[in-house]
Every structure is written in structure tokens, then in C-alpha cells.
Amino acid sequence: MKKWKRWVSRIKHCGGLPLAVKVLGGLLAAQYTLREWKRIYENIRSHIVGGTSFNDRNIISVYHVLYLSFEELPVYLKHCFLYLAHFPEDYSIDVGELSYYWAAEGISRPRYYDGATIREVADAYMEELVRRNMVIAERNFRTSIFETCHLHDMMREVCVLKAEEENFVQIVDASTITSTANSQSISRRLVLHSPDVSINLKRYIKNPKLRSFFLIEQFKRCHWLASGLGFGRLMRILDLSYVEFMGSKLSSNIGELIHLRYLSLYQAHVTHLPSSMKNLKSLLYLNLDVSEIMRPPTSVMMTSPPIHMSDFLKELRELRYLTLPCKIQDGTKLELGNLINLERLGNFSTQHSSVTDLQNMTRLRGLSIIFNSQECTLETLASSLSQLRHLENFNFR
């Protein structure tokens, strides 16, 4: 009964706003003793005086509740939550992609020891954030796995403000282009989501502290005019989705970024991948799906020519996620049998790789295959697939 009375007193601090009630409920649900409830109550009361009408004071009260919900998070969940500040307002965040961002940052590393996959660890963290009503997530109706997530507008404001306070990420968009025209990046993380504008990227990537750089999907007019990349050697995350490279070639100095753990060239305009990529031995995530390119402003879909690449993937033994190009230059053979840690493999082609390589990938949860009957029989393929006892998703074309 005492706990119930104390709960009723907390509702008054929410100004009637459902979000604050839900968040406060999620916060208290994680506390199991009366002493912990009292501590949270005093934290709220020290900042605000509750009311039952919706006014400016109650709005402030709501934000204090939301801020408190963040402060009560464990450290690893604080980092997971702050990472959501990277994404634009009302953006639908792919939880699968997010899980590899987290892993590349080392956020989820302590949980690897129980044998869970990167995605399974991320789903556990997302489950906790959803239970605390800090994140809104959508599940696959068949598998119940989280597919996308987003933040309530007020919760996103808290997320962005806390990220700014802690210098967690620098966001460059249309509203900040002018104000940061002559500035360099000051954060370890830099994200661009500013469509339909030309940005001089060079000034932003001069920061020697920079560890993470990526472009949000909405940013589709980024032309990489320099012959080299220009990033420091300590980069860990590099998402160059939709980038158009000079001469359609990825610079060979990509191989100097030996600490990279995440590299995406999704839908990038590139036709040549340098052999120096063999040096990226720390990669967990590699997306080479550069098969088709949207050309703004007409948004005409254009098919890219086959990708020229050497047999460097066999050196990247830490990979957990790999998506290959849909089209690879004829005659190219890729040895993938060493990639025994893979959890997701996309666009595996029987024309360019041996299906027997799959037998060693016993951790695979997701696999898509481009089948060529001239290079492989269905019987041989079935024999290799029979070894993949943890496979959950399979696509065949």
C-alpha cells in the first residue's frame, strides 16, 4: 500500500502526459526495494513541484522525468541510447544495422562471452530500452525479432541534448551547415544527414580524434572529390553509403585504416575495390552491395558494371557480417572458407565462390545465395547447407 501511494504521487509529476507516465513506470519497474523508490522520488522532487494541469511547469516536469530515466540507465545502455542521437527526427532505425554500430563501438563486447551473436546481444539491449519505454520498436510479426525502432519527439530531444552535453556525436545537417562553415569536427563521432546540399567534407574529417563517420540514407548527393579518403588511421566506423567516388574507385589508402571494425559501401558508386582492403583485419561488418545506384534528382535506377576485386576477403577472419556485390567481374574467385565467424552472409555467388566454403560457417544465422547451375549442383549446395544448423533466414535466387 505504501508503494502504491508513492506511485500515485509520482503520477502528479507527469502533467498528464502519457509518455512521462510510461517512462516513469518503466524506471520504477527496474527498482525492487522501497529504498530505491524513495531515492527516485527525492530525485524528482528536488527539481520539480508536481501539478495536475498541463502548463509550462508540467512540461519541465516531464523533461525532468525523461532525464532521470536516462541517468538511471546502466553505463552500457546509456551508450546504446545516446547512439540513437545520430539519426534524424522521425527516422526509422534498422535495428540490425544498429547492432553492428554498437558492436563496432565495443558497446556490446562484454556480452560476447556467452556465445551470443552480435544481433542477439543487441536485441537484449533493445528489449531493455523498450521495457523502460525509452525507445519505440517494431517487431517482425512472424519471428518477434526487432526490425526497426525510433524515438518519441520529446525523448529524442533529451537524447540529442545529452549527446551534445557529453560531446558524444557531432551532427551536420541543413540547419548547421552555415553555423559550422569554418569549423572542424570536435567529436569522436561525425554524422551527416543533410540532403540536397553540397558539403565540403574535408574540413570535417581533419579532426585527429575522429573515430566514426557515416552518412544517413537521406544524404544522397555526397561526391567524394578527393583522390584519397583523408581519415585518420584510428577510424573504427566508416559508413560511405551512396557516396560517389572520383573515377568510381575506392582509394587504396583505405587499407591504412587498420582499426576499422565497420565499413559500408552500400549503394556507393564504386567499381574497383583495392587489394589493400586485406589489411582491414579488425572488420566485423563489411557491406559491398554496390549493385544499383539511385541517381537524384530523377531517382532513376541505374545498374552498375561488375565490380573488380581481388581475393582479399579470406584475410578478414573477424567478420560477422558480409554482403558481397551482386555483380562481380567474370573470372573472379573468392575464397571464403576462412570466415568461420560469419553470422550474416549476403549475395554469396556459386559462380565466384565454392559452396564447400559454407560448411565452415557454422555460426551463420542469415544467408542469401545467387545460384549458378553451371558452377554448382543443387545436391552439392544442399550438402553444404546441411552443416548450417543455426541458419534462421535463407534466400535463394
The highest-confidence range among 34-38, 296-300, 302-306, 347-351, by mean pLDDT, is: 347-351
Integer CA distances (angstroms), 123 to 85, 128, 239, 368, 388, in order: 19, 9, 22, 22, 22
346 & 302 share domain: no
60 & 180 share domain: no
- Per-residue pLDDT, 65: 75
DSSP secondary structure letters along 147-187: EEEE--HHHHHHHHHHHHHTT--EEE-TTTTTTTTT----S
Q: Residue 124 contacts by C-beta under 8 Å, 6 or more apart in sequence?
A: 111, 116
183 & 294 share domain: yes
What's the distance, CA 20 to chain centroid?
A: 27
Distance from C-alpha of 75 to C-alpha of 53, rounded to nearest angstrom: 35
134 & 195 share domain: no
User: ∠ CA(375), CA(311), CA(256), 5° rounding?
Assistant: 155
188 & 278 share domain: yes
- Per-residue pLDDT, 307: 93
- Per-residue pLDDT, 194: 63
**Residue 48 — very low, low, confident or very high, per pLDDT cuts 50/70/90?**
very low
The highest-confidence range among 37-41, 75-79, 128-132, 282-286, by mean pLDDT, is: 282-286
- Give the number of other Cβ atoms within 10 Å of residue 301's Cβ: 9
User: Into how many domains does the chain fold?
Assistant: 4
Percent of the chain at pLDDT exceeding 90: 45
The highest-confidence range among 57-61, 87-91, 161-165, 337-341, by mean pLDDT, is: 337-341
Question: What torsion, rounded to 10 degrees, do the Cα atoms 35, 41, 45, 51 define?
Answer: -150
364 & 272 share domain: no
Nearest to 264 by CA among 94, 76, 89: 94
Return contacts of 96-101, CB within 8 angstroms, 24+ apart.
96/147, 98/122, 98/149, 99/123, 100/262, 100/284, 100/285, 100/320, 100/321, 101/237, 101/262
Give the least confident one: 44-48, 104-108, 312-316: 44-48
Whether the CB-CB separation of 335 and 353 falls below 8 Å is answered with: yes
241 & 375 share domain: no
324 domain-assigned: no
* pLDDT of 231 higher than 70: yes
- Per-residue pLDDT, 15: 42
Q: Which H or E run includes 124? A: helix 118-131
- Per-residue pLDDT, 51: 41
Q: What is the amino acid identity at position 145?
A: I
The residue assigned the cell 501511494 is: 5
Q: Residue 377 contacts by C-beta under 8 Å, 6 or more apart in sequence?
A: none
Mean pLDDT, all residues of the chain: 80
* pLDDT of 251 higher than 70: yes
Name which residue leads in pLDDT, 60 or 190.
190
Select from 318, 351, 368 the last residue of a domain: 318
* pLDDT of 246 higher than 80: no
What is residue 372's DSSP assignment? Answer: -
- Per-residue pLDDT, 228: 61
